[in-house]
Chain A
Amino acid sequence: MTQMTRRAALVAGAGLLATPALVRAQTVRELTFYYPIAIGGPVPRIIDGYCEAFQRETGIKVNPVYAGNYGETLTKAVTAIRGGAGPHFSVLLAAELHSLRDMDILTPFEEIEGAGDLDAWTRGFFPAFMANSKAGGKTWSVPFQRSTAVYFYNKDWFRAAGLDPEAPPRTWAQLVEAGRRLTQDGKWGVKMSSSAGNGQWTFGAMANQAGHKLMNDAGTETYFTDPRAVEAAQFWRSLAFEHRITPQGSIEWGVLAPDFLNQTTAMIWSTTGNLTNMRTNARFNFGVAGLPGKDAPRTVVGGGNLYIFKNASPAERAAALRFARFVAAPEMAADWCMKTGYLATRPEAWETESLRRYTSEFPAALVAKDQIPVATGELSTFENQRVYKALNDNLQAMLSGGKSAQQAMADTQAEATRVLRPFRG
């Protein structure tokens, strides 16, 4: 483990000892948790380091199990729990909240022993990151590996097109204007992903940019036919068909970064999780900015939260919660942020000396953090993946020219209403 982690562990450990309400789960010797990897770099080693530090502090051994990407981790965790041998806790997509509740495999944090000061603790996270955590008056997860949508832009290219590289677009109108100047033969002004599993994320940001939220907090209703949702869809469609600054058809998430690095696209809508990659591989000057909104920048959060499962014993649940607190401690969260590019989930972490020094050397990290206040939660409902599929299929049909924005939104709403009917009333 590095110097930084060790110190972070000490500080975090001190914080734990100072928490009187915490039940010491003495009977628990071992915990298993699943986590996905969605970024490059030696993530397993970092996680192993935190688990070792936690064991030194508490005597509890945590076995971290890398379980694939987000989708595979969910599959694996649910299959294992249904088979009766699941992990005690896991990092899963924050937006899976309602689907996971429907499976009845989660423990609400309020029901865990020694969670007395829960409110004070959860208030310490950025509210946007807690947006997919609460339902039915209870807390079902806490933020861990979190990001926000931002866009990367090619400064050299901006300059060549006569645009100010230090004043990237902040509104839809500015985006279209810049895109028109940047788009030329075989080179695109802007790209955002509409592929399966990603389109709903892009669209969640766009709806927020139009001042609209796509679902209710209970996850039982969606609002795709709202004029502002249609406006957002219309805007996306116009980028491809009216302004022609983005290609028609579906765009894979995986090729956005290579597109940008190959300088075939001037701006890509991506995630803060991509910062390190860009910093290492871009052979040109690039900038990071908050996604433009209809009037001012607006964005969406993303990433994974820590969930604690029902199949863990009360003592194991308490120990898992203790681990969640351990990795959320300021020095730990700061360490995680610097090593992975994910955002530290608590404002206090950004006040640590190490993270301050890091952001002064690498201000792009601050851009991402500054987006948190204007970010909305991810689209999250019951039968989440079905609603995602309905939306993504329709977005893809719309972007291939098969449907109008109005039609795409109406069809999405019809399918979502059908799927969510059993959860209402």
Chain B
Amino acid sequence: MSATTIPQASALPRLGTLLETVAAWLLALAWVAPLLYAVWAAIHPTGYATRFELFAPLTLANFAAAWEAAPFARYFLNTFALVTMVVVAQFVLCTLAAFAFARAAFPGSGILFGLVLVQLMIMPDILLVENYRTMRALGLVDTILAIGLPYMASAFGIFLLRQTFKQVPKELEEAARVEGCGTLAILLRVYVPLAKPTYLAYGLTSVSYHWNNFLWPLVITNSVETRPLTVGLSVFASTDQGIDWAIISAATLMTSAPLLLGFLLFQRQFVQSFMRAGIK
């Protein structure tokens, strides 16, 4: 921020703006550097992963090698199924719970909400062994359902939607009630449409989280039919041969391409949805 008190249109604020622009761009450069580097390393032969020469030969061999190393087509399908399932379940469960917390004044709601918020802090990653036992008891080991189940009731989602629902004017609800709508109809016709931006914002956040989640899927899945993309990525993570940055880069780009593209295409709507979601 410029700290000057001189009125606008003088030279100093413009200098301040210039400095800010430079700083903003330098920061942006640092932030995309890993991605830029990944692109560089992925499209050149292995030897050029660490040397930057303008006329280095181009190749797609790294993508081919990465694609060969694991059944990525199937993994894409699994990740897609997983993410879809988790997000749909989260929407349904969190909507119902958030609505109850936002609008129903009932005894014990404060304590229950506190119990929900506990999940914000307890990380599924450290409850691996206990959760594995539960899945085993349910007969769900090595299913896509088991990967998603612990995340479906999300404290984050309940919290966000509760905030949004609380901002819906009571008058709208009362008007609907006068028209004879039941509780569920009010939720579906009044609250859900008004919370669309929150759903979009939360949905995208959730997609990117589950697209990239690794440890729990690794533990709970055993077969090609259930494993998500990140497990395929881990083939390249640590080997006797040391790191091959070219192939890791190709694999990273390949697996995160749908997310990156999605964000590039929808980034305006994405930010606006956060804005309209009134998350604050």
**B70 CB contacts on chain A under 8 angstroms:** 44, 66
Which of B136, B238, B244 neighbours the largest number of chain A CB atoms within 10 Å of its CB? Answer: B238
Q: A83 at interface (Cβ–Cβ under 8 A)?
A: yes
Nearest residue, chain A, Cβ from B134: A83
CB–CB B223/A277 < 8 A: no
Q: Mark A341-381, 1 if CB is under 8 A from B, else 0.
A: 00000000000000000000000000000000000000000
Q: A24 at interface (Cβ–Cβ under 8 A)?
A: no
CB–CB A277/B241 < 8 A: yes
A interface, how many residues as a size bin?
Answer: 35 or more
Which of A42, A63, A258 neighbours the largest number of chain B CB atoms within 10 Å of its CB? Answer: A258
Complex Cα spacing A147 to B240, Å: 10
Q: Mark B200-221, 1 if CB is under 8 A from A, else 0.
A: 0000000000000000001100
Residue among A38, A147, A281 making CB contact with B47, cutoff 8 Å:
A281
Q: B69 at interface (Cβ–Cβ under 8 A)?
A: yes
Nearest Cβ in chain A — how far from B145, in angstroms?
16
Nearest Cβ in chain A — how far from B46, in angstroms?
5
Q: B76 at interface (Cβ–Cβ under 8 A)?
A: no
Residue among A32, A69, A76, A258 making CB contact with B243, cutoff 8 Å:
A258
CB–CB A273/B129 < 8 A: no
**A186 CB contacts on chain B under 8 angstroms:** none
Residue among A37, A85, A262 making CB contact with B141, cutoff 8 Å:
A85
Complex Cα spacing A370 to B243, Å: 27
CB–CB A40/B239 < 8 A: yes
Residue among A39, A72, A76 making CB contact with B241, cutoff 8 Å:
A39
**Given A32-B222, A274-B241, A79 contacting B132 (CB threshold 8 A):** yes
CB–CB B235/A42 < 8 A: no
**Given A75-B219, A84-B136, A257 contacting B242 (CB threshold 8 A):** yes
Q: Mark A249-260, 1 if CB is under 8 A from B, else 0.
A: 000011111100
**B132 CB contacts on chain A under 8 angstroms:** 79-80, 82-83
Nearest residue, chain A, Cβ from B243: A254
Q: Which residues of B contact A (CB under 8 A)?
A: 46-47, 49-51, 68-71, 128-129, 132-133, 135-136, 141, 218-219, 222-223, 231, 234-245, 247
Nearest Cβ in chain B — how far from A88, in angstroms?
12
Nearest 4 pairs between A and B by C-beta?
A257-B242, A273-B240, A83-B136, A277-B241
**A38 CB contacts on chain B under 8 angstroms:** 238-240
Which of A32, A72, A147 neighbours the largest number of chain B CB atoms within 10 Å of its CB? Answer: A72
Q: Which residues of A contact B (CB under 8 A)?
A: 32, 37-42, 44, 63, 65-69, 72, 75-76, 79-80, 82-85, 147, 253-258, 261-262, 270-271, 273-274, 276-277, 281, 283
CB–CB A79/B129 < 8 A: yes
Complex Cα spacing A72 to B240, Å: 15
Complex Cα spacing A274 to B241, Å: 5
Nearest Cβ in chain A — how far from B170, in angstroms?
49
**B247 CB contacts on chain A under 8 angstroms:** 40
Nearest residue, chain B, Cβ from A256: B242
Nearest Cβ in chain A — how far from B166, in angstroms?
41
Nearest Cβ in chain A — how far from B35, in angstroms?
20
**B244 CB contacts on chain A under 8 angstroms:** 40, 277
Nearest residue, chain B, Cβ from A303: B240
CB–CB A69/B234 < 8 A: yes
CB–CB A42/B69 < 8 A: yes
Complex Cα spacing A79 to B135, Å: 12
**Given A76-B218, A83-B133, A261-B47, A40 contacting B69 (CB threshold 8 A):** yes
A-B contact pairs, 28 of them (CB 8 A): A37-B235, A39-B240, A39-B241, A44-B71, A63-B223, A65-B223, A66-B70, A66-B235, A67-B222, A69-B234, A69-B238, A72-B218, A75-B219, A76-B218, A79-B129, A79-B132, A79-B219, A82-B133, A83-B133, A85-B136, A253-B238, A253-B242, A257-B241, A258-B50, A261-B46, A262-B50, A273-B241, A274-B241
CB–CB B240/A258 < 8 A: no
**A69 CB contacts on chain B under 8 angstroms:** 234, 237-239
**B136 CB contacts on chain A under 8 angstroms:** 83-85
**Given A63-B223, A65-B223, A79-B129, A274 contacting B242 (CB threshold 8 A):** yes
Complex Cα spacing A122 to B123, Å: 46
Nearest residue, chain A, Cβ from B69: A42
**A37 CB contacts on chain B under 8 angstroms:** 235, 239
Complex Cα spacing A255 to B243, Å: 6
Nearest residue, chain B, Cβ from A75: B219
CB–CB B242/A72 < 8 A: no
Complex Cα spacing A39 to B244, Å: 11
Nearest residue, chain B, Cβ from A280: B46
Complex Cα spacing A68 to B226, Å: 15
Complex Cα spacing A82 to B46, Å: 42
Complex Cα spacing A258 to B248, Å: 13
Complex Cα spacing A283 to B45, Å: 12
Nearest Cβ in chain A — how far from B143, in angstroms?
12
**A65 CB contacts on chain B under 8 angstroms:** 222-223
Nearest residue, chain B, Cβ from A264: B50
Complex Cα spacing A23 to B231, Å: 37
**Given A39-B241, A274-B242, A281 contacting B219 (CB threshold 8 A):** no
